[in-house]
Amino acid sequence: MSEMSPKEFKHILVGVDDSDDAQLAFRYAINRAKSDGAKLTIVSILEQDNMNVYEAMSKDFVHGQRKDLEEHVMQYQKLARDFGVTDVNAVVDEGDPGETIVKTVIPALKPDLLVIGSVAKHGVRKYFGSQAAYMAKHAPISVLVIR
């Protein structure tokens, strides 16, 4: 072990929403992508359990919600480009965030690092958010949880 250097990542996936911890994760991810010269993919998941049953059944409502989320994620993409990350993509999907990222997004995009925030909650969850815990346990790639 004469020479050790930190691992450089080639493709970083960052999960975003508007929580403070996700903002921290995003800031870390753009810094890391820029320093490593890595591709950055920004992902946000439309959670249908935040909708009532009538909203979830309305294709117009779901389409409108998804369109709003896609526009919002494009703002993150612009921020990353303005910061100097040259290869930036944005992805929006629907479902349970942890499961969708682990079972759909990661296999499709093949990143080598997932950066996520962990929302502080009550009890055991205040130490490690349930979505973050799920992704850390089940993701087939390195996971960095930002708090």
Is 3 within a domain? Answer: no
What is the model's pLDDT at position 3? 63
Number of Cβ atoms within 10 Å of the Cβ of 78:
12
- How many whole angstroms separate alpha carbon 70 and alpha carbon 90? 8
Is 85 within a domain? Answer: yes
What is the model's pLDDT at position 118? 86
Considering its fold, how many domains does the chain have in total? 1
What is the model's pLDDT at position 120? 54
What is the model's pLDDT at position 33? 97
What is the model's pLDDT at position 23? 93
Nearest residue to 115 via CA among 6, 38, 2, 5: 38
pTM for the full predicted model? 0.84
Is 120 within a domain? Answer: yes
Is 50 within a domain? Answer: yes
Please report, for the domain that includes residue 29, its CATH number: 3.40.50.620
What is the model's pLDDT at position 5? 64
Write out the residue range of the structural domain in which residue 31 sits. Answer: 9-143
Is 37 within a domain? Answer: yes
What is the model's pLDDT at position 11? 98
What is the model's pLDDT at position 123? 44
Spans in the chain with pLDDT lower than 50: 1, 52-54, 56-57, 61-62, 122-128
Is 2 within a domain? Answer: no
Tallying the residues shown for the chain, one arrives at 147
Is 133 within a domain? Answer: yes
- How many whole angstroms separate alpha carbon 3 and alpha carbon 12? 25
Is 15 within a domain? Answer: yes
